[in-house]
Structure 1
Amino acid sequence: MQPWKVILLFGQFRVGLSAPAEFKGRRCEFLTSPRNANVKWAGNVSGTVQYCASTRCCMGFYRIANGQAVPEQLGCDVFQTNCLDPTCHVFTRQENTVSCVCSSDFCNTNVTWNLESQPQHPPSLNESSTWVAVIVIGTLFIFSIFYVMIRYRSLFKDWARFGGGDREYYENPPSSLKGTVTPQCSCDQPAASDLDLTNLELQQVVASGHFASVWQGRLCGATVAVKVFPTAHRRSFLKEKEVFGLPLMEHPGLVHFMGAGMEPTGGHWVLLLELAKYGSLKNFLSSNTIDWLSSVKMAQTLSQGLAFLHTDLYRNELHKPAVAHGDLSSSNVLVQMDGTCALCDFGCATVFRSCSGQPRWQQQRESAQLRSQAGTLRYTSPEVLEGCVNLNNDRCLIQGDVYALGLLLWELWARCSDLYAESPVPEHQLPYEAELGPSPSLDELILSVSERRERPILPTPWRQFTQAFSAMKDIIEDCWDHEPDARLTAQCAADRVAALPKHCG
């Protein structure tokens, strides 16, 4: 069968279109859509045209529907800076999508692909040889199935105990996950190109930490959060940039990453993030009380964001490995304009990479002692405080995040006015602040949290709301359980929060 070619032309007729005078780089068709959020920062956008800042390549990502190519992402390529093909031409397609990278102006408006039928192999002249090959292949296939089943059982042996959660990503994936997928090794993902920050304006400091400060700033007319790392903390910058740059690392429960680069005037390393209107959860709770529905919304988006972070996800030949946050606290959770929560600050995160289908994890981990010093101490799990965490088990680090989630849920609901009825809402306090003071030492936390197994007290007024209190108590206590294997998964915690009653009374 002869190959056939389908050429799809879309875009718009341009007359007299010119770039700004100072621009001499690539011009690409740009599509305004939610999926194009990261592509936007690869260059200046004017209508449907994007002027690439640091690449000579245009890219296009198209969904095939009813024989037509529907563009989903168009713009400057955020990964490749050099490409050879001047036309948007592909020879293969994965399920219902095609993509291309090309090296001429507006080349991503035209996509051409060849789909060749598979050649017919001549029948074997030796029937016995054919049967031997079939038997060998069938035997190997059966052994492969058994191996996958054993691995599956090992990874999800606790699923039934904790009520489901992450397993739904595998047994009932979204439509975009279904079909035959050849996973791309997460170790081989190209790094995102640095942004041109010449026009970046720093306005005011909104937060400061051990390794960086966060500013409100403006870039190309947009207000952004700018996380500035001194040159001495370049390693911390690179580590956090690595996490943000993972494929598929986009979720409403994670702060939106816009790009990275070097601040031109001071030579500092910079991450650009979406600016959260209400700042950190700690600051928000210090100056605000919340009603029941708002508290449930915040608790649910917080736990959903953590569940996504913990998920090992494959989609469209891309792989997002599981990530343990490692420093979850109310200072590292942001409150956005719509009242939802988003995780931030991945400087202590651990990425669990699996490459080439090999049954081993490539893990970058620190010792328990270093993690307890680098992370926020009062949110550190008992096993990490004691330094007896099993660093060869990724689940131990992930379940340390779930312990911190339990403390955050307690901290959040402690400021819910509806749970106190006629009683005054107490001032905001951090976990263990009432018991150990504002700055507990490592030894004090080991004695109280690990040896005595003490936890923050659930306020007495909550108990009058029988139905809500029973469910809240179970969620919190099942998250901060002393035994890591007895804790919920973050997804299970999110599901339980979603099932809370609409009214606490």
Structure 2
Amino acid sequence: MQLTSGVLGCLCVCVCWLLEVRGRRCVFEVSNPRNLAWKERGNVSGSEQLCANTHCCVAYLSLQGGQHVQDYLGCSVMDLPCPLPTCSITRQDEYLVRCVCSSDLCNAIDNITWSPEQETANPLRPGSLVGTEGGGLVAVSILLGCLVFVVTLFTAVKCRHFKDTLLSSQHGHKPTSPSLDLTNMVERPDLDLTNMELHEVIGKGHFATVWRGFQKGAMVAVKVYLAGNEHSFTTEREVYKLPLLVHAGIADFLGAGRLEGGEMVLVLELAAYSSLHLFLTKSSCDWPSSLRLARSLADGLAFLHSEFSRHGLYKPTVAHRDLSSSNVLVRSDGTCALSDFSCSSILYNSQRGPGTREGGPGTRQGGLWTGQGNSGTITQGSLVGTLIYMSPEVLEGSVNLRSSKWMIQGDVYALGLLLWEIWTRCSTLYTGSAVPEHALPYETELGVCPSLELLCLHVAERRQRPAIPKHWEQAFQVFSLEDIVTDCWDHDADARLTSQCALDRLLTLQA
């Protein structure tokens, strides 16, 4: 036992030393060398980059001439969740795709794999050490983390310095007790926000204020949670920390921490055009641009709703539960990314995880709904969401709380409203006439801030929806725009499309 402890103690020393002196090596190639942001990510030597602040390599690919070509290969700007040693892309789309990985030179084009998501009849339970191809490497990594953790318990004095280094280093994952679920969440230490610069407020919500910030040479979005919203902060952080939650349709999560004043903070990618709401307010789009927004939006939601296992890791279904144009970002390439998961629910399969986790804070006042306009959150028990985007069954409180299906169906209802928002600002659909100003769902019929009672009457009882222009009835290939939108916001929740089916229909439309 003493010999084993000694050997493992040396292993602890070696691992900690490596994490201190050796950064991640990534393949480097940039399509626009005039964009100097890559210099802050690490030193470049030929076709390799030695990461300065992160342990993740990243590859961004775009479609050119029918082929996916590299847009940027190199180090990620800050630490991203990258539990897999290989760069695997789950969806092959016509717009920008991305993958991240956690081994040296793993982002080389020849190393990138295309792995369609697959649901198995008997998928792996989180924490399983036996998985698909590559699971052995993940298992070794997990076992190594466990061994290091055990050693630190028995050699606390000798390895105290190295243990602290391992826990605080941003080049590795925090060791986890073998009795805990090792793959349920991507465990990483909080970010050091000592030198975080907050420049200007770019958004305000019910739970937090979003700032434009500067951290480690990069412009980022800093979501500062207001006092008393610890539950919302924890919920959103848990969603972002899920393994395999890496997709072009999901906002990049760079880490969490606390400012010097104690405020809870999430650090996210900074989207070039801010929210979809702000983008549509300022700009109209032609048909190809509108279709790109719609497809990437549906793609992100379909991924969020998907459930799969890969390399011994398990991604459960996630219901967004507050999908609105204010909670969708628009990147510089004109694609959407879902954000703001403070009201979300992680829907674990009963055979795979700890059960459904209900997200979102709420209070109940005499069993009645409470609300704060179209930007507020209303609650009854665990029901949450933005009023004007809530499905009729949620508005009238007629959902089956024994099943989580209604949460997914509510997201699809909101997707229908968002598609309506996007296409009402499509200039191609208004040839010969002015494009109408951006309007929120039901704004024309009910005003800017309709009450809950008015929405219940209009949406649930009278079964009314936002007005669809007559020219939408013209067919685009197999499905018309009207078909897609109305099948998403159908009054019968069971008759609505799935998010994947909505995406499939959108893919049939010609750009």
Cα distance change of structure 1 residues 335 and 392 upon mapping to structure 2, 3 Å threshold: same
1:28 maps to which residue? 22
Contact 1:411 1:430 in 2 (8 A): yes
1:48 maps to which residue? 50
Cα distance change of structure 1 residues 320 and 470 upon mapping to structure 2, 3 Å threshold: closer
Distance between the aligned counterparts of 1:467 and 1:51, measured in 2?
Answer: 48
Match of 1:425 among 429, 435, 448: 435
Percent identity over paired residues = 45
- By how many angstroms is 1:31 displaced? 2.8
1:74 maps to which residue? 103
Q: Which structure has the larger Rg?
A: 1
Match of 1:216 among 184, 188, 212: 212
2:137 maps to which residue? 98
Match of 2:188 among 180, 189, 192: 192
Cα distance change of structure 1 residues 285 and 221 upon mapping to structure 2, 3 Å threshold: same
2:306 maps to which residue? 311
Distance between the aligned counterparts of 1:331 and 1:239, measured in 2?
Answer: 19
Match of 1:350 among 345, 348, 357: 345
2:280 maps to which residue? 285
1:452 aligns to 2:491 (yes or no): no
Cα distance change of structure 1 residues 350 and 388 upon mapping to structure 2, 3 Å threshold: same
1:180 maps to which residue? none
1:479 aligns to 2:488 (yes or no): yes
1:231 aligns to 2:227 (yes or no): yes
- By how many angstroms is 1:439 displaced? 0.5
Distance between the aligned counterparts of 1:28 and 1:248, measured in 2?
Answer: 25
For residues 358-397 of structure 1, the aligned pairs below 5 Å read 361-364=355-358, 369=369, 372-373=378-379, 374-397=384-407
Match of 1:253 among 215, 231, 249: 249
Cα distance change of structure 1 residues 498 and 291 upon mapping to structure 2, 3 Å threshold: same
1:329 maps to which residue? 324
* Runs of at least 5 residues in structure 1 that lack an aligned partner in the other structure: 1-22, 35-42, 54-58, 65-70, 76-90, 107-183
Match of 2:269 among 257, 274, 277: 274
Amino acid at match of 1:221: G
1:398 maps to which residue? 408
Distance between the aligned counterparts of 2:448 and 2:251, measured in 1?
Answer: 28
For residues 160-171 of structure 1, the aligned pairs below 5 Å read none
- By how many angstroms is 1:391 displaced? 1.6
Alpha carbon RMSD of aligned pairs, Å? 3.4
Distance between the aligned counterparts of 2:289 and 2:228, measured in 1?
Answer: 41
Distance between the aligned counterparts of 2:424 and 2:53, measured in 1?
Answer: 50
Cα distance change of structure 1 residues 33 and 497 upon mapping to structure 2, 3 Å threshold: farther
Point out 4+ residue stretches in structure 1 off by more than 4 angstroms.
43-47, 49-53, 59-64, 91-94, 101-106, 184-188, 355-358, 365-371
Amino acid at match of 1:205: V
- By how many angstroms is 1:432 displaced? 0.4
Distance between the aligned counterparts of 1:419 and 1:192, measured in 2?
Answer: 47
1:241 maps to which residue? 237
TM-score relative to the length of structure 1: 0.66
Amino acid at match of 1:251: H
2:125 maps to which residue? none
- For these two proteins, the number of residue pairs brought into alignment is 366
* Runs of at least 5 residues in structure 2 that lack an aligned partner in the other structure: 1-16, 29-39, 44-48, 56-81, 88-99, 105-128, 149-161, 167-179, 363-367, 371-376
Contact 1:406 1:477 in 2 (8 A): yes
Secondary structure, counterpart of 1:231 in structure 2: coil
Contact 1:26 1:52 in 2 (8 A): no
Distance between the aligned counterparts of 2:333 and 2:491, measured in 1?
Answer: 34
Cα distance change of structure 1 residues 291 and 190 upon mapping to structure 2, 3 Å threshold: closer
Distance between the aligned counterparts of 1:278 and 1:387, measured in 2?
Answer: 35
- By how many angstroms is 1:48 displaced? 2.3
Amino acid at match of 2:208: A
- By how many angstroms is 1:72 displaced? 5.1
2:373 maps to which residue? none
Cα distance change of structure 1 residues 416 and 448 upon mapping to structure 2, 3 Å threshold: same
Contact 1:185 1:354 in 2 (8 A): no
Cα distance change of structure 1 residues 61 and 211 upon mapping to structure 2, 3 Å threshold: closer
Cα distance change of structure 1 residues 72 and 449 upon mapping to structure 2, 3 Å threshold: closer
For residues 100-139 of structure 1, the aligned pairs below 5 Å read 100=141, 101=144
Distance between the aligned counterparts of 2:437 and 2:398, measured in 1?
Answer: 35
Contact 1:28 1:50 in 2 (8 A): no
Distance between the aligned counterparts of 1:52 and 1:252, measured in 2?
Answer: 20
Contact 2:24 2:51 in 1 (8 A): yes
- By how many angstroms is 1:320 displaced? 1.1
2:453 maps to which residue? 443
Amino acid at match of 2:288: L
Cα distance change of structure 1 residues 44 and 232 upon mapping to structure 2, 3 Å threshold: farther
Distance between the aligned counterparts of 1:29 and 1:468, measured in 2?
Answer: 51
1:126 maps to which residue? none
Deviation track 1:48-98 (CA, whole Å, cap 9, x = no partner) reads 265789xxxxx996569xxxxxx95238xxxxxxxxxxxxxxx99963452
